[in-house]
């Protein structure tokens, strides 16, 4: 069986495994569709015993139960007993994590009920409508006017539910969302992580008002199998998925700047197509060219800005648009450190990526989960290359088929949301997963799923280094399946001092590009001393100086790095009362926005590389 056919079969199996999941139902490009924002102030009830969900026998309440928190509490007689209510005295901002909004939530892990009302015009109550969430961490149950719309698991990917006809009304729509961020051994991520478990409705909420027939998903990119480095003649490759099958219908693709207008016939729900594409201006970090694109299907006109580029591996090199590229990266968590909260909007994305640009980076690793869509939108416009990752992290239950399916589901949601973003060049299937036969089979299955869904990008995972007799050996069996061999390296912080890097040697089993997905050391900003003194800025600076010297001695397949990490970030694992105080201090920028000495060392190294290229 050839490889292409294998990928197709894997993709078919992937879709049939989730006939009713968000992979099939997810609606993309929601910001360019007719919608009503439901962001703002929501009421809340903290429910650690889940009394609003279960009765005293711990059975899920029936839909009409007046004690269920998804129902409007109504008092008709003075003798009526209702033991819950929503009040303006208890409100949270959406989008936003709950931990940063009130001290009572700082360490809270459990269920919180969100509630708000909204009104519509009579015209808006008819037609096709969906409730859309950019993300809610981790398990969300959504109810509208007493009816359950659905449930979603996964704290960092979008989901939506179709609203049954007749359920919306003009006045007083009662929307309730139960969000539960409890950690579990059988979830993705699992119980053990090195970041704060921010709970809540952390991304935008929208009521989508759509035509009866609309384009649900689409992809449009250069065909990697027909890429021409001279740019003269390219092929566009694309896919449409409609919300329901069509009969003898037509979809028009219009790119005004290129005077490209093509009408495609569609019968059924899916359409694969290819189009000739002459002399496009290719997207790159130096020239982040985006084309205005329109997709027209009946009454549905959908607009997007799409860049066209080619990314591939050739031997030991990463090749962008036919030219070798060195990835000057930095890792990022989805946090705004000065306000101790999740990043949540375009302004936040701009702040983080502007810092990366100031570092002279051309690439960011968005760790360890899919970040807000504002990040990839902004990266597209700034020309910042992106590594996007799912939270298969550390101690996943690799023996569980159920856990594997959850990982595939999150992987699928990430890819569907962002596969039209030119900036995204790497899908990562995990971070620092311990080698075992079950783990390797688990991870290879994810790699196959990613390739089946999108063969226009590179696949990787952050691996660990094996040390033997003073040698650093990279021989993880997953390296056979991924395009870039990526490793996390902390010699001189975990084990020895930075001087240990001076005589370090590296052995790589695979004839593939080598990328250092993490390397770093902690420092408390403003704390100074001898370079041998841990937690000083001088120690961190020394670490980066020795790391850069080591990188200059790397084998010829060394193709880039994304040091850990852009900013300090919150983590309950970090408990030194003087230097950490609940913060991971490996940031090049501290929690007040101050740049540490190491920032400027890496900045200069990246500038040197940029000038050479």
More confident residue, 232 or 413: 413
Instruction: Please give the Cα distance from 516 to 489 (Å, whole number).
Output: 7
The CB-based long-range contact list for 488-492 (8 Å cut-off, 24+ gap) reads 488/431, 488/432, 488/462, 488/463, 488/464, 488/516, 488/517, 488/518, 488/519, 488/564, 489/465, 489/516, 489/518, 489/519, 490/518, 490/519, 490/520, 490/521, 492/521, 492/543, 492/546, 492/547
pLDDT at site 253:
97
β-strand partners of 225: none
Contact indicator for 282, 309 with CB cutoff of 8 Å = yes
User: What mean pLDDT is predicted for residues 194-207?
Assistant: 98
SS3 394: coil
> Per-residue pLDDT tens for 529-551?
999 999 999 999 999 999 999 99
pLDDT at site 585:
98
- Could you tell me whether strands 233-255 and 215-222 are parallel, antiparallel, or unpaired per DSSP bridges? antiparallel
Confidence of residue 2 (pLDDT cuts 50, 70, 90): low
Residue ranges per structural domain of the chain:
33-210, 214-312, 326-612
Q: Over 50: is that where the pLDDT of 475 sits? A: yes
Q: Over 60: is that where the pLDDT of 23 sits? A: no
In order, the DSSP letters of 534-572 are: TBSHHHHHHHHHHHHHHHHTS-TTEEEE--S-SB-EE-T
Instruction: Please give the Cα distance from 562 to 520 (Å, whole number).
Output: 10
> Per-residue pLDDT tens for 250-281?
999 999 999 999 999 999 999 999 999 888 89
- CATH number corresponding to 214-312: 2.60.40.10
Q: And the tokens for 542?
A: 């020394």
Preceding amide of 63 cis, omega within 30 = no
pLDDT at site 515:
97
Q: Which CATH class is domain 33-210?
A: mainly beta
Percent of the chain at pLDDT exceeding 90 = 88
pLDDT at site 10:
42
Q: Over 60: is that where the pLDDT of 8 sits? A: no
Confidence of residue 24 (pLDDT cuts 50, 70, 90): low
Fold of 326-612: TIM Barrel (3.20.20)
Give me the phi and psi of 351, to 5 degrees please.
Answer: -60, -50
In the β-sheet with 323-324, what is the strand arrangement from edge to edge? 311-314, 317-320, 323-324
Q: Over 90: is that where the pLDDT of 63 sits? A: yes
Least confident of 200-209, 224-233, 593-602: 224-233
Instruction: Please give the Cα distance from 173 to 177 (Å, whole number).
Output: 13
Confidence of residue 6 (pLDDT cuts 50, 70, 90): very low
Q: Is the pTM of this model over 0.85?
A: yes
Give Rg (Cα) of the chain.
25
Instruction: Please give the Cα distance from 66 to 81 (Å, whole number).
Output: 10
Preceding amide of 182 cis, omega within 30 = no
SS3 224: helix
Q: And the tokens for 35?
A: 């919608």
Q: Return the biggest CA–CA distance within the chain.
A: 81
Instruction: Please give the Cα distance from 433 to 486 (Å, whole number).
Output: 12
> Per-residue pLDDT tens for 281-332?
999 999 999 999 999 999 999 999 999 999 999 999 999 999 999 999 999 9
β-strand partners of 209: 129
Preceding amide of 189 cis, omega within 30 = yes
Chain Cα centroid distance, residue 565 = 17
pLDDT at site 35:
98
Instruction: Please give the Cα distance from 516 to 329 (Å, whole number).
Output: 9
pLDDT at site 320:
97
Instruction: Please give the Cα distance from 176 to 69 (Å, whole number).
Output: 8
Contact indicator for 311, 458 with CB cutoff of 8 Å = yes
Instruction: Please give the Cα distance from 309 to 279 (Å, whole number).
Output: 12
């Amino acid at each position: 069986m050839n490889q292409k056919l294998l990928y197709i079969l894997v993709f078919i199996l992937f879709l049939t495994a989730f006939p009713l999941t968000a992979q099939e139902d997810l609606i993309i490009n929601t910001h360019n569709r007719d919608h009503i924002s439901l962001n703002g102030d929501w009421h809340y009830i903290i429910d650690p015993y889940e009394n609003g969900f279960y009765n005293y026998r711990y059975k899920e309440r029936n839909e009409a139960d007046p004690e269920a928190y998804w129902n409007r509490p109504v008092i008709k007689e003075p003798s009526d007993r209702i033991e819950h209510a929503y009040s303006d005295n208890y409100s949270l901002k959406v989008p936003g994590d709950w931990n940063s909004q009130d001290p009572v939530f700082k360490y809270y892990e459990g269920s919180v009920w969100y509630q708000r009302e909204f009104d519509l015009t009579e015209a808006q109550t008819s037609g096709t409508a969906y409730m859309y969430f950019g993300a809610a961490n981790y398990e969300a149950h959504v109810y509208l006017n007493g009816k359950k719309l659905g449930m979603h698991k996964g704290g960092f990917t979008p989901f939506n539910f179709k609203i049954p006809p007749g359920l919306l009304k003009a006045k007083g729509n009662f929307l309730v969302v139960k969000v539960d961020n409890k950690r579990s051994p059988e979830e993705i991520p699992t119980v053990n992580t090195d970041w704060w478990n921010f709970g809540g409705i952390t991304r935008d909420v929208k009521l989508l008002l759509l035509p009866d027939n609309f384009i649900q998903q689409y992809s449009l990119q250069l065909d990697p199998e027909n890429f021409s480095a001279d740019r003269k003649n390219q092929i566009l490759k694309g896919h449409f998925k409609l919300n329901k099958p069509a009969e003898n219908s037509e979809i028009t693709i219009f790119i005004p700047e290129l005077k490209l207008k093509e009408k495609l016939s569609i019968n059924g729900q899916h359409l694969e197509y290819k189009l000739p594409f002459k002399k496009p201006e290719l997207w790159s970090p130096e020239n982040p060219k985006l084309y205005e694109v329109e997709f027209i299907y009946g009454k549905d006109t959908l607009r997007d800005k799409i860049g066209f580029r080619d990314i591939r591996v050739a031997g030991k090199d990463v090749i962008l648009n036919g030219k070798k590229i060195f990835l000057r990266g930095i890792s990022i968590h989805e946090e705004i450190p000065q306000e101790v909260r999740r990043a949540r909007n375009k302004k936040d994305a701009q702040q983080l990526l502007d810092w990366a640009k100031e570092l002279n980076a051309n690439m960011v690793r968005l760790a360890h989960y899919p970040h807000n869509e504002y990040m990839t939108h902004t990266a597209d416009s700034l020309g910042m290359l992106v590594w996007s990752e799912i939270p298969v992290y550390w101690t996943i239950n690799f023996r569980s088929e159920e856990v594997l399916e959850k990982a595939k589901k999150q992987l699928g949601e990430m890819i569907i949301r962002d596969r039209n973003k030119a900036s995204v060049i790497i899908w990562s299937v995990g971070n620092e997963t311990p080698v075992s036969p079950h783990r390797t089979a688990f991870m290879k299955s994810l790699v196959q799923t990613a390739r089946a869904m999108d063969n226009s990008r590179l696949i990787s995972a952050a691996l660990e280094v094996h040390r033997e007799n003073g040698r650093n050996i990279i021989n993880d069996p997953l390296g056979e399946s991924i395009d870039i061999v990526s490793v996390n390296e902390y010699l001189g912080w975990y084990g020895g001092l930075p001087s240990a890097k001076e005589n370090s040697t590296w052995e790589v089993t695979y004839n593939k590009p080598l990328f250092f997905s993490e390397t770093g050391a902690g420092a408390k900003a403003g704390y100074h001393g001898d370079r041998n003194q841990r937690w000083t800025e001088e120690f961190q600076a020394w670490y980066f100086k020795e790391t850069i010297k080591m990188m200059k001695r790397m084998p010829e397949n060394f193709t880039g790095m994304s040091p850990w990490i852009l900013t300090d970030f919150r983590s309950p694992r970090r408990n030194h009362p003087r230097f950490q105080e609940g913060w991971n201090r490996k940031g090049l920028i501290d929690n007040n926005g101050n740049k540490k000495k190491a920032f400027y060392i890496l900045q200069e190294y990246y500038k040197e590389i940029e000038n050479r290229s």
